[in-house]
């Protein structure tokens, strides 16, 4: 059942929320041991929530638009009274004394949290192999990675553990795992969804985003979580989410641009697999067939995104992760002085990828190097904003593959960080400029694993991504049935 259908059934009393929950918990029982999507399954707490929903329905009260819908929450979002670990030893067992805004909104909407999902430690990674608590496996092929960093939430939806998932996307961490797992994943405009309670990785890039089995569900979830939050200074003040309202608009007359540099076209970055490029072309043709005006377009600074990102993100992360020092919460490894205690704690508590990025970021900000690295990367951002602004004069949305390849085998890319980093080449530019993007499954690659196609739109035009995504989804379905 889709999330929309579940909510409708529960609201009308046709199904109980407890019943829905049990169905999902059964699936978790069956396959979680081989998938490991969760750091923590919240069976007891979810039951309490589900019972409360059913009681509301019985009392004739409005239980909310997501009544009884099981939701999987990435374990880097604070849940009061419930451990929140970021899949790191340094926060193992930490219990936040407050809820993230997104958690409050979902609870108010009637959602039922089935669990906190696994992620790459502190959201740093593209495969969920960097978790301190073991990797998550792709439900479609458990020898493969689910993508990352929100691999657990993507896998939860793909495996039917939850009807909806919540992840965070800093360089592609919702969209890329969505592509690898064959589900819908979307990154909102920067500032559309509150970051209050999202444990920060890179503050100017992080956004919370929805996972779902289809575009309509994802749009419904988006409309619940998006909107201004006074607790987040970087939250857009007058953002009115309207994704569901745009779903049936079609693409007649819409100007669609295929980004050459990210789609195997002229000046393209290396490493985009031919089958992925092929599927993207089929997707573009489907849009043309549906009435869109399609053309190739150049975004010259797009290839610089990877480098700029791997300077900006670690720099901000190195500062955001300084607070993990053993003083106020989390792991403490004792020592003779506070300074030594900080060092011992962080050395024992952080995994290698996190340390690598903290080191990189600290270096990029340090005296003598700021201008050459971090400072320059901020200028690349300006260039990208300008490029996109001029492109969007002539186009309404842009298309690229979501990821360069399909899901790769576990362990294949662990030795060389750069081979892992290139996973994000298609998704990173939209993080740097703060634009929305959605990944919609569009068939499979040569290996039979899902391929995701990405739709990008200008800032605050989130609804457009769902609009186009819905058409792609319909086309993909038709392809299968025909």
Given the residues 153, 173, 246, 439, select the one marked as catalytic.
173
- Asked whether the beta carbons of 101 and 194 are under 8 A apart, the reply is yes
Residue 253 burial (CB < 10 Å; 0-12/13-18/19+)? Answer: exposed
Q: Which is nearer to other proteins, 249 or 269 (CB)?
A: 269
**DSSP string computed for 411-459:** TTTSS-HHHHHGGGTTTHHHHHHT--EEEEEEEE-TTS-EEEEEEE--T
From the candidates 74, 89, 116, 187, which is the catalytic residue? 74
* Sole binder of other proteins in the list 48, 322, 412, 479 (CB under 8 A): 322
State yes or no: is 127 an active-site residue: no
Q: Residue 319 contacts by C-beta under 8 Å, 6 or more apart in sequence?
A: 361, 365
Rounded to whole angstroms, the Cα distance separating 183 from 24 reads 17
Considering only 15, 187, 381, 467, the residue that binds other proteins (CB under 8 A) is: 381
Minimum distance, C-beta of residue 433 to other proteins, in the bound complex (Å): 5
Interface with other proteins in residues 351-370 (CB under 8 A): 355-356, 358-360, 362-363, 365-367, 370
- Residues 98-117, one symbol each (x = binds other proteins by CB under 8 A, - = not), give x-x-----------------
- Shortest Å distance, C-beta 417 to other proteins: 6
Is 438:398 a contact under the CB 8 Å cutoff? no
| 168 catalytic per annotation | no
Interface mask (CB under 8 A) for other proteins, residues 50-89, using x and -?
---------------------------xx-----x-x---
* CB 62 to other proteins: min, Å: 28
User: Least distance to other proteins from the beta carbon of 196, Å?
Assistant: 5
The reply on whether position 373 binds other proteins by CB under 8 A is: yes
Inter-residue contact 44 to 51 (CB < 8 Å): no
Spatial separation of the C-alpha atoms in residues 342 and 357, rounded to whole Å: 18
Q: Answer yes or no whether residue 329 interacts with other proteins by CB under 8 A.
A: yes
> Which lies closer to other proteins via its Cβ, residue 310 or residue 408?
310
Q: Nearest to residue 158, comparing CAs of 35, 25, 332?
A: 35
Window 443-462: residues binding other proteins (CB under 8 A): 459
Q: How many CB atoms lie within 10 A of CB 355?
A: 16
List 115, 177, 185, 191, residue binding other proteins (CB under 8 A): 191
Rounded to the nearest whole angstrom, what is the least distance from the CB of residue 336 to other proteins in the complex? Answer: 6
User: Token pair for residue 277?
Assistant: 């490029």
Residues in the chain: 482
Can residue 328 be called a binding residue for other proteins (CB under 8 A)?
Answer: yes
Q: Which helix (H) or strand (E) holds 287?
A: helix 274-289
């Amino acid at each position: 059942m889709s999330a929309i259908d579940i909510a409708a059934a529960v609201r009308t009393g046709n199904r109980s929320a407890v019943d829905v929950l049990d169905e999902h918990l059964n699936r978790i029982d069956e396959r979680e041991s081989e998938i490991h999507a969760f750091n923590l399954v919240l069976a007891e707490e979810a039951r309490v929530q589900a019972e409360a929903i059913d009681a509301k329905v019985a009392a004739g009260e409005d239980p909310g638009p997501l009544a009884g819908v099981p939701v999987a929450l990435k374990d880097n979002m604070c849940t009061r009274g419930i451990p929140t670990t970021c899949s790191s030893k340094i926060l193992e067992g930490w219990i936040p004394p407050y809820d993230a805004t997104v958690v409050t909104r979902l609870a108010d909407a009637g959602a039922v949290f089935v669990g906190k999902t696994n992620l790459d430690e502190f959201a740093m990674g593209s495969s969920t192999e960097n978790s301190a608590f073991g990797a998550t496996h792709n439900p479609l092929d458990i020898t493969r990675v689910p993508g990352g960093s929100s691999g657990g939430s993507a896998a939860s939806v793909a495996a039917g553990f939850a009807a909806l998932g919540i992840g965070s996307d800093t360089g592609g961490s919702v969209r890329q795992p969505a592509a690898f797992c064959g589900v819908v994943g979307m990154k909102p405009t920067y500032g559309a969804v509150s970051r209050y309670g999202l444990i920060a990785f890179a503050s100017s890039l992080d956004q919370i985003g929805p996972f779902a089995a289809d575009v309509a569900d994802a749009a419904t979830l988006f409309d619940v979580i998006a909107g201004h939050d006074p607790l987040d200074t970087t939250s857009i003040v007058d953002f009115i989410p309207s994704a569901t309202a745009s779903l049936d608009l079609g693409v007649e007359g819409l100007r669609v641009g295929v980004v050459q540099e990210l789609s195997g076209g002229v000046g393209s970055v290396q490493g985009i697999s031919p089958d992925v490029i092929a599927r993207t072309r089929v997707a573009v043709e489907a849009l043309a067939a549906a009435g869109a005006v399609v053309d190739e377009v150049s975004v010259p600074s797009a290839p610089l995104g990877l480098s700029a990102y791997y300077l900006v993100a670690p720099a901000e992360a190195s500062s955001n992760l300084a607070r993990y020092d053993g003083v106020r919460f989390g792991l403490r490894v004792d020592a003779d002085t506070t300074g030594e205690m900080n060092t011992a704690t962080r050395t024992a508590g952080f995994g290698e990828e996190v340390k690598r990025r903290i080191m990189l970021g600290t270096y990029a900000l340090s005296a003598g190097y700021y201008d050459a690295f971090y400072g320059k990367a901020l200028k690349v951002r300006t260039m990208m904003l300008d490029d996109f602004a001029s492109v969007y004069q002539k186009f309404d949305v842009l298309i690229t593959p979501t990821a360069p390849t399909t899901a790769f085998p576990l362990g294949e890319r662990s030795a060389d960080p750069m081979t892992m980093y290139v996973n994000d080449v298609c998704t990173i530019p939209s993080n740097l400029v703060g634009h929305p993007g959605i990944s919609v499954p569009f068939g499979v690659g040569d290996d039979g694993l899902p391929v995701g196609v990405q739709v990008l739109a200008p800032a605050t035009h989130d609804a457009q991504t769902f609009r186009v995504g819905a058409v792609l989804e319909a086309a993909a379905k038709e392809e299968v049935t025909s």
